[in-house]
Structure 1
Amino acid sequence: MDEHSAQNPLLRRDVGTSYAKKTPLFVSSAKWILKFVMWVIFFAWAAFIFLLPSEFMNDLYHKWIQSTRGTLFGVTGSIFLIFSGPILIIAFLSIAYIIISGEEELHGKKTSIYPSFRLWTFPVLVDGPFGVVSATELIGIILFLAYVIWAVYAYTMSILSFMSDQFSFKYKSILMLEFLGLRFGSIGLYCMAFLFLPVARGSFLLRLIDIPFEHATRYHVWLGHLTMLLFTLHGLFYVIGWAMDGRLLEEILEWKDIGVANLAGVISLLAGLFIMAAGGIFLFMLDRFLRFCQSRRTVDIISAKCLPCGTVELVLSKPGNLRYNALSFIFLQVRDLSWLQWHPFSVSSSPLDGKHHLSVLIKVLGEWTAQLKGKISDDELLKELGVQPNTRITASVEGPYGHEVPYHLMYENLILVAGGIGLSPFLAILSDTLHRVREGKPCLPRNILVIWAVKKSNELPLLSTIDMESICPLFSDKINLQIEIYVTRESEPPLEEGYNHKAIKPSLCPMSSEYGMSVLVGTGNNIWSGLYVISSTIGFVILVSLLDIFYINPYSVLSWWYKGLLLVACMLASVFIFGGLVVGLWHLCEQKNSSREKCGEINVHKMEDNNTPAHRDSSNESLVKSTIVRYGSRPDFAEIFGSISESWGHVDVGVIVCGPPTLQSSVAKEIRLLNIRRERHHPIFHFNSHSFDL
């Protein structure tokens, strides 16, 4: 790798950064203002929740409630506005920000000529209950724990100042337990204000900060465990206090309209839950309804084949205007196998591979994947016998989801570490990079090292699913690509090299945009997605207003649990009615565009070479020369990264890992060690994982 080392790159940094287009002043100013306003609102909202246990902020909160309780929405509206209003406002502003940003990709991303550490790519905790945790994530964990500790301390001091020396020890104990039980429940509700934000797959909030859904779910899991712990303490303290006072059964069976009832696990606590955490829950409802609408479309599988290793490759039909990045993923349902099971798969094709299709690689690991492979194998056998299968394989799809910006294109020096089928998204990266280099599109990677660990050599044909030479002829003169393969469970190579096996040719079906994937996805058309969110929110406000004017106030409805149920009903109705109207118009617009696109194509049954998945039996001599296969060993990351540190010099190196947790931990541990002990002339490694923590 010395010939094209990072010290003498084929494409100089000034050339790599020349892709950046100058953004108009009014656009950059508008983006800066929007970003500033969003950060101010978020920090003010977070500071309010953090300081709420203090006496000063608690007094301000109650004054706010008293001064606004006479308004149209009453106390419910006051609580909703202060706890959920800010996050909805940020969501609205993020819609405007993303629409203004447009299809910038790398155009607005400036790359520094000086390598530097980044908190979100620096692994801090590796071998712990949270998995690999970056410095940014650790700061977030510490802040949440600090909030819980501070809140418990503040509430404890408050109750202690209230107690009198005349109270008996038993009474003090019961009072303390009930008060802390109440406050643990309050702290849990405040944590729930953040709980549902990470699980909206197409959320504008996640797209704004460029955190893909598969990464954000781990924050939902962490917050969920913390919230469950707080609610468990909430209930436990109350039960102990009631038992000490001899009124356990009476309290558990109590049902009251005002305040919190205890029957059936504190049913009316849902009212407070939906008012304090309504913002995140409402955004989740919006996302879930849009996913439901998208998944109703039946998608044609235009190609299906089984590789010798047993891995299945599916090529799905999609409309030309459905955009995605190389590191995107989809959720797939095959109704012939199950109407309930949805499975996530990384996209193995680049969006530049073809306008009307995307590919996924599926490894047989369970019953569902085994049934899928069996069905495809049976169809292939029938075709070999000259019998046409009775049915065609169809699927339902949600997505694509993933990073808003293709961050893999921002590193001039890239290391891709894969375990088994984890190579799938890296095939998309390689294809994307080669297409961009050939077409002169924004693309920084020029030094790419692929480290791939597999159990047996029969998995090597996965490399044959991408024909690099046909994508970018003489690519070895433009990109320094090195592939190191480790076959861990075989001590010597078979009679034939695995990656030279001929893949089974797929049976291509005619492609029709009518049966392609639906563009009704939160990460799709920004304008339609924004209108959907805004119209649903406005509809929610309208429905709550009408409910207060014509029902709650005239009939003096006071029951908290009942008002909570009505609030949920308004949420659902606003999504279905107001949001559904926008989705319907969006769907009609999609059909119109599909028909126009179909009429504009000369022949949709013939795919051009640049619009067809690469299924050629090419020897790829350049690829063979740059590939090293080692048998009976595992990657020694200390040696690999140590060698890179000496040869690549003082540069930024992006490391992307896709594989089991043990592989991620091993790579993260070595990167952390090298970054801590690095010398001035050594590179800075940036850890990125591509995995599903679902």
Structure 2
Amino acid sequence: MDEPLLQNEGLEALYVKKTSLFVSSVKWVLKFLMWVLFVAWIALIFVYPSEFGTQLFEKWIQATTGTVFGVTGSIFLAFSGPVLVIAFLSIVHLIISGEEDLPRKKTSKYPRFRLWTFPMLVDGPFGVVSAAEFVGIVLFVVFVIWAVYAYTMTNISLLSKFQIPSKEKSLFMLELSGLRFGMIGLLCLAFLFLPVARGSVLLRLVDIPFEHATKYHVWLGHLTMLLFTLHGLFYVIAWAIQGRLLKELLEWANVGIAILPGVISLLAGLMMWVTSLNPVRKQYFELFFYTHQLYVVFVVFLALHVGDFIFSIAAGGIFLFILDRFLRFCQSRRTVDVLSASCLPCGTVELVLSKPANMRYNALSFIFLQIRELSWLQWHPFSVSSSPLDGKYHVSVLIKVLGEWTKKLRGNILSISEAESEEELPNTKITASVEGPYGHELPYHLMYENLILVAGGIGISPFLAIISDILHRLREGKPCLPRNILIVWAVKKSNELPLLSNLDMESICPFYFDKLNIESCIYVTRESEPPLEEGMQHKAMNSSVYPVSNGCAMSVLVGTGDNIWSGLYVISSTVGFIILVALLNIFYVNRFSIDSWWYKGLLFIACMVAGVLIFGGSVIGLWHLWGRRNSARVEHKDDGIGVDRSQNVKTMAHKDIEPANPNSSTVIRYGSRPDFKEIFGSISNKWGNVDVGVIVCGPPTLQSSVAKEIRSHSLTRDSHHPIFHFNSHSFDL
């Protein structure tokens, strides 16, 4: 009787094995194709400024211009097509990957260095730069130097064919150099918008969250604007010498480059550039934020300046950004329930927001939050302080009260709490809108057996989510590698300590200390001794909590959400854009012989936007209906089995804080800062030859200190010591 069952089990195991092998093979093929496309695209961009590249490009134009799309289609296919095709392949890869299983055991017996986690540069204009990022910076610098050299040689060769006076030759050289700088800037612009598409499938494919990618956008923005500024400056100098500056600046030609739109685009770019410089951005953040919305003017007038076929060089990245921006707009229209709000004595606000059960995120995610009573325009990023396993229907964030916006938020919460305590109807309310969650595609904090979590102040927030996530996984038997965790936390005053000690580990996972060793080393920098009595900081926290119901759960319309729906959105929008361009050319541009460059550039932009609004908007509508239906089904199922949707909504208020578990080691040091040389040295002797993931969340100075010590340790490392892997989790616009 047992034999058939055993045979069936064997067949089932064989089927699973074959399926897994097939999926792995498909993923390998997809990765290979994406690498081939990417390398070919980069190679094209590198050789384009050379004479060989020009000849190759001319042959490509001659071979492909016989379609309804004309020259614009040929250029778009060469420069923007690869990005979109890689995006399509990324969608397929993400769909077949599904919920990627995390490793249940170490993938490598011996520790090894990784380019992404080795800090190469620490003190400098770029902040902390990994070895992989350093390679990228070097490649861009080499490309710009090479392109300037190649174009200069081409200019000299071109001018040598004409017998003209040296003064006129110099002026021509200035104008040609300006033209070349503009082209190099346009090639850099092809990359500029890729890092700021928050839910981009490309960022998800390489597992680079938006919080990290923003610095790439900053670096590329400085480089691109420098090139465009030189582009405009060289022309201005040449025209001023010739005495026709004003005439040229006001020219708006129908055929050829339209100068005035270019001037408007450059001025918008310069305003964004100046206000994004570090001193201005830090002191006048709102000025930076509002001025940066001029990117719409910058892009539209750039298209009017160069026309459709030149603009199509950079159109791929811009189109992916438009896709992301429209999806964010749709998600943020929903009013989200604030399940509870509390003001903690340490100057921190906790908000618990309602989310649908089918929304996916991991413990190192963050959301963008808008409170409409405070501002209709301001969006602020906050790390999620709850694990996705804490509860199906809520997500929590901790907000440090620092600026005007957070002070107003705290005031609103306190005024509502006071009104409710006096049994009055509050005059104020909180109406929240949310974008996200965004973050790593995979929870990389689960990939290390040994973790060091370094936090500064409110930077402890994402680590609360990490610890909770690990404990939940240990309790439920889910894949989870961490076995040793060291928490290094620097705070200004001891009234912040309950943020960590409030995490009741034993209630999440009883007897967790049999499987997990957690040590905490806390530094109170602005107090030389404990307040009044030892343990005073563990008293109950006087705070206010109140329930609010203004709308509903967060919208599922997020780029990092359902892979199938987000993939359909990207593909349908792209196909719609191509169809609209084709129809426009057949029934309007070709039929009526439209030859105005700036007008065709405007039509091209209009087709990009219309493709997203019409075709992508239809998918979003269906996605929204599917989300509502699916959420209702899950809620009905939970209600049917008696699940209380509010049972897991935990706040830090109205709870007595118990001393730390005696099985976990907590050391509090007053009047000192972390000595990372001592900390990493102690860990090296204690943990031995292993991989150690170091995650830092705090100010740039804290990140630099940790990165510097990791680099120093790596360069002088003994064979029996660990390899530390630097990871940062700090959002800095």
TM-score (norm 1): 0.93
What is the rounded CA distance, in whole Å, between the counterparts of 1:198 and 1:581 in structure 2?
Answer: 26
**Contact (CA 8 Å) 1:122, 1:686: kept in 2 or not?**
yes
| Residues 498/312 of structure 1: CA separation in 2 closer, same or farther (3 Å cut) | farther
**Contact (CA 8 Å) 1:331, 1:397: kept in 2 or not?**
yes
| Residues 510/153 of structure 1: CA separation in 2 closer, same or farther (3 Å cut) | closer
Aligned residue among 28, 40, 47 for 2:43:
47
Q: After the TM superposition, which residues 511-660 of structure 1 pair with which residues of structure 2 at under 5 Å, given as runs?
A: 515-602=552-639, 606-607=644-645, 612=650, 616-622=655-661, 626-660=665-699
Three-state SS of the structure 1 residue aligned to 2:49 is: coil
Residue identity (%)? 70
Cα shift at 1:681 = 0.7
Aligned to 1:253: 250
Three-state SS of the structure 2 residue aligned to 1:443 is: coil
Cα shift at 1:107 = 4.7
Cα shift at 1:168 = 2.6
Cα shift at 1:464 = 4.1
What is the rounded CA distance, in whole Å, between the counterparts of 1:507 and 1:309 in structure 2?
Answer: 15
What is the rounded CA distance, in whole Å, between the counterparts of 1:488 and 1:235 in structure 2?
Answer: 51
Aligned residue among 408, 416, 426 for 1:379:
416
Structure 1 runs not aligned, ≥5 long: 1-20
What is the rounded CA distance, in whole Å, between the counterparts of 2:105 and 2:675 in structure 1?
Answer: 34
What is the rounded CA distance, in whole Å, between the counterparts of 1:387 and 1:154 in structure 2?
Answer: 75
Aligned to 1:97: 93
Aligned residue among 223, 226, 230 for 1:229:
226
What is the rounded CA distance, in whole Å, between the counterparts of 1:416 and 1:376 in structure 2?
Answer: 31
| Residues 634/54 of structure 1: CA separation in 2 closer, same or farther (3 Å cut) | same
Structure 2 residue 497 is the aligned partner of structure 1 residue 500 = no
**Contact (CA 8 Å) 1:105, 1:406: kept in 2 or not?**
no
Three-state SS of the structure 2 residue aligned to 1:601 is: helix
| Residues 109/193 of structure 1: CA separation in 2 closer, same or farther (3 Å cut) | farther
Three-state SS of the structure 1 residue aligned to 2:32 is: helix
| Residues 180/621 of structure 1: CA separation in 2 closer, same or farther (3 Å cut) | closer
Cα shift at 1:125 = 0.6
What is the rounded CA distance, in whole Å, between the counterparts of 2:482 and 2:311 in structure 1?
Answer: 47
**Contact (CA 8 Å) 1:317, 1:511: kept in 2 or not?**
no
Cα shift at 1:341 = 1.0
Deviations 1:387-408 (A, max 9, x none): 3535653311000000000000
**Contact (CA 8 Å) 1:354, 1:612: kept in 2 or not?**
no
Cα shift at 1:646 = 1.5
- Letter of the 1:334 counterpart: I
- Letter of the 1:503 counterpart: M
Q: After the TM superposition, which residues 267-666 of structure 1 pair with which residues of structure 2 at under 5 Å, given as runs?
A: 267=301, 268-271=304-307, 274-389=311-426, 392-496=429-533, 497=535, 499-504=537-542, 507=545, 509=547, 515-602=552-639, 606-607=644-645, 612=650, 616-622=655-661, 626-666=665-705
Aligned residue among 107, 116, 125 for 1:120:
116
Structure 2 residue 131 is the aligned partner of structure 1 residue 135 = yes
**Contact (CA 8 Å) 1:461, 1:498: kept in 2 or not?**
no
Deviations 1:629-670 (A, max 9, x none): 100000011111111112211111100000000000000000
What is the rounded CA distance, in whole Å, between the counterparts of 2:617 and 2:312 in structure 1?
Answer: 23
Three-state SS of the structure 2 residue aligned to 1:236 is: helix
What is the rounded CA distance, in whole Å, between the counterparts of 1:311 and 1:608 in structure 2?
Answer: 23
Aligned to 1:18: none
What is the rounded CA distance, in whole Å, between the counterparts of 2:25 and 2:715 in structure 1?
Answer: 38
- Give the total of aligned pairs: 673
Cα shift at 1:167 = 3.3
Q: 104-113 vs 575-584, which deviates more?
A: 104-113
**Contact (CA 8 Å) 2:198, 2:438: kept in 1 or not?**
yes
Aligned to 2:192: 195
What is the rounded CA distance, in whole Å, between the counterparts of 1:270 and 1:416 in structure 2?
Answer: 50
Cα shift at 1:612 = 4.6
Q: 253-262 vs 388-397, which deviates more?
A: 388-397
What is the rounded CA distance, in whole Å, between the counterparts of 2:227 and 2:359 in structure 1?
Answer: 42
Cα shift at 1:614 = 6.9
- Letter of the 1:101 counterpart: S
**Contact (CA 8 Å) 2:338, 2:549: kept in 1 or not?**
no
Aligned to 1:3: none
- Letter of the 2:240 counterpart: A
What is the rounded CA distance, in whole Å, between the counterparts of 1:292 and 1:105 in structure 2?
Answer: 32
**Contact (CA 8 Å) 2:343, 2:545: kept in 1 or not?**
no
| Residues 554/419 of structure 1: CA separation in 2 closer, same or farther (3 Å cut) | same
**Contact (CA 8 Å) 1:329, 1:345: kept in 2 or not?**
yes
Q: CA RMSD in A?
A: 2.1
Aligned to 1:687: 726
- Letter of the 1:501 counterpart: K
Cα shift at 1:605 = 9.1
Cα shift at 1:103 = 0.3
| Residues 381/614 of structure 1: CA separation in 2 closer, same or farther (3 Å cut) | closer
Aligned to 1:156: 152
Three-state SS of the structure 1 residue aligned to 2:307 is: helix
What is the rounded CA distance, in whole Å, between the counterparts of 2:575 and 2:681 in structure 1?
Answer: 57
- Letter of the 2:540 counterpart: K
Aligned to 2:706: 667
What is the rounded CA distance, in whole Å, between the counterparts of 2:134 and 2:145 in structure 1?
Answer: 16
Aligned to 1:677: 716
- Letter of the 1:626 counterpart: S
- Letter of the 2:712 counterpart: L
What is the rounded CA distance, in whole Å, between the counterparts of 2:71 and 2:258 in structure 1?
Answer: 18
**Contact (CA 8 Å) 2:475, 2:509: kept in 1 or not?**
yes
| Residues 234/174 of structure 1: CA separation in 2 closer, same or farther (3 Å cut) | same
Deviations 1:423-468 (A, max 9, x none): 0000000100111111111111111000000111111121244211
Q: 100-109 vs 112-121, which deviates more?
A: 100-109
Aligned to 1:14: none
